[in-house]
Chains A and B, each alone.
Chain A
Amino acid sequence: MDTHRHLDDELSSLRDRVLLLGGEAEQALERAMYSLSERDTDVARQVLDHDDQIDHLEVEIDRQCIDIIALRQPAARDLRFVISVAKMAPVLERIADHACNIARAAIDLNNEPELKSLLDVSRMSEHALKMLRGALDSFTSNDAITAREIIKSDSEINDLYNHTFHRLIELMVTEPATATRDARLLFVAKHLERIGDYVTDICELTVYMAEAAFIKHTN
């Protein structure tokens, strides 16, 4: 039936677009962290310059979701997929925004003497990237079991953040001269912690899409 093939084509195109957005967010985070760890300001600026394209992709996905709902009236699993994508796209865009904030922090930090250590911030970013990749994979394969496991693993980022927070506060007290740099690094850690929360949102949407279960705010 032609109309259903058209719907399938549109859903497939929507899936490709949201995965593209996910890939862009992942790359933005990876490059922002690279610019911080390798003190590469050019890469940080590239992350910022690329953000408009990510914003544009989010708007395209929004439009495509609205068109499918208005013109195709999807139901059941198709409806759950479109709703999940519509809610997922702004979350991915927000992750890219946090990557931009990390890139801005990197530009500032790269203008100052090098920090002795990034403490657990590098580990946080590795974990956030692993969570994000896993979340996009579980979305692609409609895998609610993996999505639930990723949600649980967010506590590791939270623990790392708490540890980093206390270490940086200690450093600010004991070495006030580097307090500005420590504060910037603290913001980076906070952005990574928020990215973990956003990945959790993505996984909750995958569980809804796969099982029609609302697990948001259910601990």
Chain B
Amino acid sequence: MAVRDLDFFYGRVQALHNISLEIPERIVMAFIGPSGCGKSTFLRTLNRMNDVIPGTRVGGQVLIDDHDIYASGTDVVELRRRVGMVFQKSNPFPKSIFDNVAYGLRINKVTSSSSELAGRVEQALKDAALWSEVKDRLKTSALSLSGGQQQRLCIARALAIRPEVLLMDEPASALDPIATSKIEELIFDLKKQYTIVIVTHNMQQAARVSDTTAFFLLGKLIEVNSTEKMFTAPNEKLTEDYITGRFG
């Protein structure tokens, strides 16, 4: 995935300025920066989730396999199948655990038989490290799960349709340390198969889970570097000031 000269506007307000970034396959990239810096806005440009906000406008390109996802004629449903998303607050549907994971598969008519559907659901729950906890109660309501389990269910729902890229917008910010740890372990395992882009306010989390970190400030991309370099010797003074908490 590659981003070229991306600008983004909410009405007349420019929220992102001329951002260019390469996101290599099968890595975890973390976006960090202070509130309002544009990192979540930028994340949502990667699968056109901002399209649903009235008055927004995008310039530049987001390329997947050399195809600009903002080119006319792009199938946005197919795009979001390839680039899945998990949000800050878990948002399971008021349905059973099974039906939550099966939802995307059914509406996209991905599977041809109920046994194939069950197999895909099981695999997605296993990939999301939730199977062992829910396998005996797949028909119970997803709303009966704990917060951490609900978030992993949402990850399973995103994984069920086998995306290439998984976008995560502060996926553990509402979770306790144990549930957070499970999500982080999951991210570590998932990068073997998926490209993961995660927005986080928790810099230690970015340091723990990501291979590459991008720092945003006032809608601009200030620095992209290996996470190790970013947290020990960043190139930019602005990054250093932010990382060391001497900002603002």
Contact = CB atoms under 8 A, between A and B. Distances in A.
Contacts of B207: 75
Contact of B231 (A1, A3, A79): A79
A1 B248 CA distance: 8
Interface in A131-179: none
Contacts of A4: 244-246
A76 B233 CA distance: 5
Contacts of A7: 245
A75 B231 contact: yes
Interface string B207-248: 100000000000000000000000111100001100111101
Given A75-B231, A77-B240, A79-B231, 13 more contacts: A1-B245, A75-B203, A75-B207, A75-B232, A75-B243, A76-B231, A76-B232, A77-B244, A79-B232, A80-B232, A80-B233, A212-B232, A212-B233
A210 to B, nearest CB: 10
A90 interface: no
- Which of B204, B233, B234, B243 counts the most A-chain CB atoms under 10 A from its CB? B233
A73 B240 contact: no
Give chain A's interface secondary structure class: helix
State which size class the interface on A falls in: 10 to 19
Interface in A14-30: none
A76 B243 contact: yes
A75 B243 CA distance: 6
A77 B244 CA distance: 8
Going nearest first, the 3 A-B pairs with the smallest beta carbon separation are A212-B233, A4-B245, A75-B243
Interface in A51-82: 73-80
Given A3-B245, A4-B245, A76 B204 contact: no
Interface string A1-17: 10110010000000000
A198 B231 CA distance: 28
29 contacts: A1-B245, A1-B248, A3-B245, A4-B244, A7-B245, A73-B204, A74-B244, A75-B203, A75-B207, A75-B231, A75-B232, A75-B243, A75-B244, A76-B232, A76-B233, A76-B234, A76-B239, A76-B243, A76-B244, A77-B233, A77-B240, A77-B244, A78-B244, A79-B231, A79-B232, A80-B232, A80-B233, A212-B232, A212-B233
A84 B146 CA distance: 44
Interface string A187-219: 000000000000000000000000010000000
